[in-house]
Structure 1
């Protein structure tokens, strides 16, 4: 975990491996310190006007002085007083006040639209913006994972609904279904039980996930299927678990059957390729059958190509004597239930905003840490470009600073990026004369936000 990480759920022990400027936050702080503060277009224009006006006033004053003394016979001291008086009179003393008042009116109007302006010239710079670089999660998307599809050995089911609200219908092959088929319902139950997240409804009526976003989406799926999250977890009491770990890439839990039965059940979820390797059978409406690996590989690839994150689900009944879980006990002999595809849906207002920007000639670019395929799918849904070009962070590192401006100009999506990549992209766009606005919602966006002509930090709808 990085310095500053908040623990959302669970417990554990940590070993400190770096402090101060050697931490990730320290590295970001160093990048911020290296960014030079830019002058806004308005201030550049005012400074240019001031220099021209000063040169004009001095030149005109000198010529007038010479004319008054040489041609009109004025005494040099009288001529000097006249020139000074005229120079003072021609200076537009009210210009700074007029500019300040005008910008203040703009700040007030922006505040009425829930946008707080820290520096007055940023109001004018917003109107000059030619390129907008935006983060994806929490800015262009809702930052609320949603199960969009469930695939079993029998069929593929589309799940409706947005966010964590447990409301939405199911459909298969275009036909609406009132309830999930048995195998898909079993998958939904496994996703609810092998899960540490809890969905809660706030006073504003908005549903929120306390825990991992993908686990919250699984709870919402189960509730859409008619399961009660508290009731099911009480009935199927958890006896033991193997927490998720990036090394083994799955989570497993052992549950006691309801109504005092001696049966025990193991549920498991994780990376589909890992879960498939632990199974030798798959569940169908007619019963268990041999695992069809080609079928699952095809559907996993199809879900991933549409920008979905995919989880696989499996289960295994026990003889009732099993009271704890071990890695050896779950690494083989499981029954594959199916896969679920998750997506962080775009904000409706973001889709409309992107369309307005493109119609106004403003280019919108997505800079994200997500996988390239996922980012490209979201970009198509947002309408960032007719055929969005994707460049990854690894590809950026192979491009020199001299060649980067051309690449940045023609690219709509930058994926797998880190704070240094974001900073280079903004600088490359500015090197071609673009006025760049950068939106971000996390501390990793801070260097690029400072470098941009307009840095827009997301507030209530951001992730940080």
Structure 2
């Protein structure tokens, strides 16, 4: 009675077998399973739910913040100073390290939770036949072989092979990307049919839009199609972002150079001079602390956090900070169609009457727009089509606040809106009887009492209506002969434009008629009134956004589960392209062939989740930085794999939101363009911050290195070095995070993936500014010593020289290409002046507060002692401005 392998073959090809064969294989009869048998299968297959995801603990998240080569060097420095008993140094270094870690921990936010989002899509209860009776059980208790019953509005509780379907239509857009509900039946389909074409199946997590049905459960939990996507999510690796890769490489290289130079300096100092072990160790620690930009991780984190806040104000919620910057580096945006590029609101775009074509303006379910007759088309022709659209219709559209909301099927909603635009509301009380839509005969008919008598109104598939019409015109009494060739040509033309085509017809009925049936309709004698061309319209703002992305050197590719004709038409209208590849072609392509297809084509139709994931991987294999946008469960694996995944916040599923890096609160593709601009701006500002911070470290490292190699007293102590590094990073460098976008930011091509974060010009500037400031600092210290000043006073003036020079260098760094001697220096970034004021206030505290003298070994100096640092700063500013002027030439 319970063969051990009953679920395997049924799950593998249930859609291709007759329903009776699947029932036999699952050892299920008309009365369903017994309670005992269901319990045995539940024990064998497990509950109908997805496994809990492994969560990262808060402690592991905190410890991960310390995984940075530069932080390792600082931790080692803190340990060594503690061993030497230099507790002030130890405390200051440890405080900097901990502050960086806490900032990263707080800003990073919660970890990914894609599996939980998918799990919430499973229904809570199911109608199942057990022990010969229908009963309600928790969906978790379903097992392969259970008979389940589906009704309109139900969420399908498991993968089901249908054995009975009555006008059953299921909304599968979250799983397949199909923009309209799918007609379901019981006939087997081809074994190699894609998920979207398996009309004999109902899939877990999808929603019954209309009708009813019964079927046998073939797969539960992780064996379902949604479960398969879950497995893909577990197997998909989240890639490091370009910024993360570049910063990690930069940190490793810098840390290695610093450690090597510190060891060399230690050895040469021991060989050439009579330094004690403690003095050399402190000098080596001072050099490491000087050369390591310990403030850089904090500046990076804060800059990204500011970008996150800016994007949130622009309706883009960023779940992982580095993703904002990554959007700025993308070279390809892969986007779903339904609900992302389009409104996911079916709209009648064109109608065809016997007298000609009529264009309809307006989008969505708001009855706003115009009907523009062409040629000899009269208002009577349009009213005839509107009458059928209003009466052979079970949907309603109503205004709720500022939005128009549909109740019913999207296609019916589009027809209802068209009727309202034509001024026809329809009268529900006038309906006498109806034949509901069924995929078996593909039409809907209503018997209505109108002011002109009793009429049968008919709408449905054009081929089915053409077979039942023998004349054409504007009403049920017209007798003009049917021009079938004309209508078939019109149907082909509308279909080629990607429009879904429905036909409308009418026939006079007896005034005493009280019912209508399929037999009545199939008897024929109808008058064909015309055709409706329906489409899920593109978002107008998305068209402009795609144009802007192209201008910025970013390719946009559409990857959808919808049919090729529809995808091609939308892509053409969006300005994406017309060269379309189908899922069947992707299925047979090797990985190498797929890389070529992904490069040469921009439209991919009838794709499965596996196809989307493979396309993203193929593009990444070609060296592209890929963003993937989407709103359905079928998009979740590819969103997770992409360099940055973008989910729709309103119509997107929870699974998609949790797998994504960025969630668009307004479901507006145009917001991605804003994110790209913000990402590029952030990257520019980070590059400016690095080119600004590193000369401080270079100058300080040079000061200590030269002092040791020449056998001099150290012009700076380790804690003084740390003071300058820290306050410079959290004040002056932070000011660069507020720099606005440069005018040409969206006219530049994407930066080369994998390239260095620093351009050659930046490296050169770091070099000469480091030498300039470092040399000036050594000279100031030595001049103070020669003048007979104490070490503390000479060091204080040396620290002031570093600080004032950095302030002047900030003004030169705010504009990386153009001159800083311009009005914008004063007007475009007021935060920079606040940061300068804070920096000066802190430095005055360093110089004149007694407790700072104790902590940092500083001392008070006279007013004239500030003139030399100011002069050094002016020289630094002038040299950088001359360099920029030469480069512009």
Which of 409, 429, 434 is equivalent to 1:240? 434
Q: Does 1:92 align with 2:287?
A: no
2:397 aligned to which of 193, 199, 206:
199
Q: Which residue of 2 aligns with 1:137?
A: 338
- Cα deviation, 1:359-397, whole Å, max 9, x if unaligned, reads 110111111122222222222221224xx3111111111
Structure 2 residue matching 1:373: 3-state secondary structure: helix
Of 412, 415, 419, 1:218 maps to 415
**SS of match in other structure, 2:486:** helix
Following superposition, the deviation at residue 339 of structure 1 comes to 0.9
Q: Aligned runs of 1:28-427 on 2, under 5 Å?
A: 28-72=229-273, 74=275, 79-173=280-374, 180-181=379-380, 183-204=381-402, 206-229=403-426, 232-234=427-429, 236-241=430-435, 243-253=436-446, 255-258=447-450, 264-283=454-473, 287-320=478-511, 322-335=513-526, 336-385=528-577, 388-427=578-617
> How many correspondences in the alignment?
451
Structure 1 distance, partners of 2:341, 2:653, is 12
Deviations 1:437-461 (A, max 9, x none): 1111111111111111111111136
Q: CA deviation at 1:219?
A: 0.8
Instruction: With a CA cutoff of 8 Å and minimum separation of 6, indicate the structure with the bigger relative contact order.
Output: 1
From the superposition, tell whether residues 456 and 137 of structure 1 become closer, same or farther in structure 2 (CA, over 3 Å). Answer: same
Q: Which runs of 5+ in 1 are unaligned?
A: none
Deviation by residue 1:323-356 (Cα, 9 ceiling, x = unmatched) = 4443333224142222110122211211111111
Mapped contact 2:448–2:456 kept (Cα < 8 A): no
Q: Tell me if structure 1 keeps the 8 A contact 2:471–2:478.
A: no
Offset of residue 298 of structure 1: 0.5
Structure 1 stretch displaced more, 32-41 or 58-67: 58-67
Label 1:245 to 1:33 Cα distance change in 2 as closer, same or farther (>3 A): farther
Root mean square deviation of aligned Cα = 2.4
Q: CA deviation at 1:92?
A: 1.9
Residue pair 1:180, 1:225 contacting (<8 A) in 2 also: no
After superposition, what is the alpha-carbon deviation per residue over 1:10-57, rounded to whole angstroms, capped at 9, x for unaligned? 555565332111222112111111101111111111110121122212
Aligned to 2:53: none
Does structure 2 retain, via aligned residues, the 8 Å contact 1:154–1:284?
no
Query: For 1:238 and 1:189, how far apart are their aligned partners in 2?
Result: 16
Q: Under a length normalisation based on structure 2, what TM-score does the superposition of the two structures give?
A: 0.48
- Cα offset for 1:110? 0.4
Aligned counterparts of 1:217 and 1:207: Cα–Cα separation in 2: 12
Alpha-carbon distance change, 265 to 14 in structure 1, aligned in 2, over 3 angstroms: farther
Q: Does the 8 Å contact 2:382/2:422 carry over to 1?
A: no
Structure whose alpha-carbon radius of gyration is higher: 2
Corresponding residue to 2:629 among 405, 421, 439: 439
In structure 2, distance between residues paired with 1:239 and 1:202: 30
Do 2:390 and 2:425's aligned partners in 1 also have CA atoms closer than 8 Å? no
Q: Which moved more, 1:157-166 or 1:414-423?
A: 157-166
State the alpha-carbon separation in 2 of the partners of residues 16 and 405 from structure 1: 38
The structure where helix makes up a greater share of residues is 2
Alpha-carbon distance in 1 for matches of 2:294, 2:555: 38
Displacement of 1:128 after TM fit? 0.6
